[in-house]
A and B are shown apart, each in its own frame.
Chain A
Amino acid sequence: MAAPDAGSAAASLVRVRLVAVQTFAEALRLRLTVLLVFIGAALVLLAWTLRGFNLGVAELRFIADFGLAAISLSGTVLATFGLAHLYFRDIEGGLAALVLTRRVGRGEYLAGKLVGVAALLAWFTAALAVLLAAMLAWRGTQLGANEVLPAVFLQACALTWLKLILSAAMTLLVCSYAGSALFAGSAGLLLTVAAHLRVFAPTEGWLAWVRFWPDFGLFETGPLLAGREAGLVGLAGMGAYWLFFMILFTGLAAYVFRRREF
Chain B
Amino acid sequence: MLIGDHWAVELDGLTKSYPTGWRRRPVPAVRNLTLKLAPGQVLGLLGPNGSGKSTTLKALAGLIHPTAGQCRILGRPAGGREARGNVGYVPEVLTLALHQTGRGFLAYCAGLSSLPPERAATRIKAVLAWMGLGDAAERAVATYSKGMRQRLGLAQAVLHEPAVLLLDEPMSGLDPEGRIAVARLIRDLARQGRTVVLTSHLLTQAEEVCDRLALLGEGRLLACGTTADLLGSFAPEPAQPSRLEKIYLEKLHGRA
**Do A and B actually bind?**
yes
A positions within 8 Å CB-CB of B: 1-4, 6-7, 11, 14-15, 18-19, 22, 25-26, 29, 89, 92-95, 97-105, 259, 261-262
Residues of chain A with a CB closer than 8 A to B115's CB? 3
When C-beta atoms are compared, the residue in chain B nearest to A28 turns out to be B99
Interface centre among A22, A89, A92, A94 (most CB of B within 10 A): A94
B89–A261 touching, CB < 8 Å: no
Residues of chain B with a CB closer than 8 A to A101's CB? 61-63, 84, 87-89, 166
A261–B97 touching, CB < 8 Å: no
Query: Can you list 9 contacts pairing A with B, beta carbon distance less than 8 Å?
Result: A3-B115, A6-B85, A15-B112, A92-B95, A93-B95, A97-B61, A100-B63, A101-B87, A262-B63
Chain B, range 74-95, C-beta contacts under 8 Å to A: 81, 84-85, 87-95
Chain B, range 98-133, C-beta contacts under 8 Å to A: 99-100, 108-109, 111-117
Does residue B72 face the partner (Cβ distance < 8 Å to A)? Answer: no
Interface flags for B49-89 (1: CB within 8 Å of A; 0: not) read 00000000010011111000000000000000100110111
Residues of chain A with a CB closer than 8 A to B117's CB? 1, 3
Shortest beta-carbon distance from A104 to chain B in Å: 5
Interface centre among A19, A22, A92 (most CB of B within 10 A): A22
A262 to B65, CA, bound (A): 10
A58 to B87, CA, bound (A): 64
B63–A98 touching, CB < 8 Å: no
B63–A261 touching, CB < 8 Å: yes
Known pairs A3-B116, A25-B97, A94-B92; A14 contacts B111 (CB<8 A) = yes
A247 to B87, CA, bound (A): 32
Shortest beta-carbon distance from A21 to chain B in Å: 8
When C-beta atoms are compared, the residue in chain B nearest to A19 turns out to be B112
Shortest beta-carbon distance from A144 to chain B in Å: 47
Contact of A4 among B87, B94, B114 (CB under 8 A): B114
B97–A3 touching, CB < 8 Å: no
Contact of A6 among B62, B91, B114 (CB under 8 A): B114
A22 to B84, CA, bound (A): 21
Does residue B160 face the partner (Cβ distance < 8 Å to A)? Answer: yes
A230 to B159, CA, bound (A): 53
A3 to B160, CA, bound (A): 14
A157 to B58, CA, bound (A): 45
Shortest beta-carbon distance from B164 to chain A in Å: 11
Known pairs A6-B85, A261-B65; A102 contacts B113 (CB<8 A) = yes
Residues of chain B with a CB closer than 8 A to A259's CB? 65
Shortest beta-carbon distance from B185 to chain A in Å: 18
When C-beta atoms are compared, the residue in chain B nearest to A26 turns out to be B97
Shortest beta-carbon distance from A11 to chain B in Å: 5
When C-beta atoms are compared, the residue in chain B nearest to A105 turns out to be B81
Known pairs A26-B97, A93-B93, A259-B65; A103 contacts B111 (CB<8 A) = no
When C-beta atoms are compared, the residue in chain B nearest to A22 turns out to be B108
A59 to B71, CA, bound (A): 67
B63–A94 touching, CB < 8 Å: no
Does residue B247 face the partner (Cβ distance < 8 Å to A)? Answer: no
Does residue B228 face the partner (Cβ distance < 8 Å to A)? Answer: no
Contact of B95 among A2, A6, A7, A94 (CB under 8 A): A94
Known pairs A7-B81, A101-B62, A261-B64; A18 contacts B92 (CB<8 A) = no
Known pairs A102-B109, A259-B65, A262-B58; A94 contacts B114 (CB<8 A) = no
B81–A262 touching, CB < 8 Å: no
Shortest beta-carbon distance from B133 to chain A in Å: 17
